[in-house]
Amino acid sequence: MQTRLRRRALGGLIACTALAGLPARAAPAYDAQADAQRDIRQAMAAAALAKVPVLIVFGADWCPDCRVLDLALHTGASAPLIARDFRVVKVDVGRFDHNLDIAARYGVPLKKGIPAVAVVSPTGQVLYATRGGELADARSMGDAGIHDFFERVSRPAARTP
């Protein structure tokens, strides 16, 4: 039964990514066992050296829109922009019962939907946060819409020290 459910979920994921115009990605996007606090500290240090902001992505593997966004960040039109302009940390939110304190710290209201993001300076200043569920419908945004979103978000972040 579990195998059948997994196949069904994977089939749904593949269908979702096909709708978004992106290739399927098999590896889990969000690590429920990760130490998000440590990962953010490490990203902040790397961002300070690179003089770029940190992109904190809140999501979960059960969320089709989160998986589509993850694909876009790695293989879509947004991938080069993200790699150039940000250091990325993905934070698993479980079923809205995990790492909620981190989302609150950066002003990201997860009740508006996931995936959600915060753009944070290497010193911890919030430069941007999705406060209205801007990425919660990543499947219908498609690769171009996701790219346009990050293009807009990266411009102000690039001007900050």
pLDDT tens for the chain, 161 residues long, are: 444 433 334 444 444 444 445 445 556 889 999 999 999 999 999 999 999 999 999 999 999 999 999 999 999 899 999 999 999 999 999 999 999 999 999 999 999 999 999 999 999 999 999 999 999 999 999 999 999 999 999 876 555 54
**Predicted local confidence at residue 4, as pLDDT:** 40
* pLDDT at position 157: 58
Residue type, 161: P
Helical (H) or strand (E) element with 63: none
Structure tokens at 69: 């966004």
H/E stretch holding 88: strand 87-92
pTM of the predicted protein model: 0.81
Whether 117 and 135 have beta carbons less than 8 Å apart is answered as yes
Pairing of strands 87-92, 116-120: unpaired
Token reading at 71:
């694909």
> According to the model, what pLDDT value does residue 144 have?
94
Query: Which class does domain 2-21+28-158 fall in?
Result: alpha beta
Report the C-alpha gap between 32 and 15 in whole angstroms: 24
Quick one: DSSP state of residue 108?
-
How many other CB atoms are found less than 10 A from the CB of residue 35?
A: 10
User: 99 — alpha (psi -120 to 50), left (phi > 0) or beta?
Assistant: left
| Rounded distance between C-alpha atoms, residue 54 and residue 43, angstroms | 7
pLDDT of residue 154: 87
Structure confidence at residue 76 (pLDDT) = 86
Amino acid at 88: V
Per-residue confidence (pLDDT) for residue 18, from 0 to 100: 45
Reduced to 3 states, what is the DSSP secondary structure of residue 142?
Answer: helix
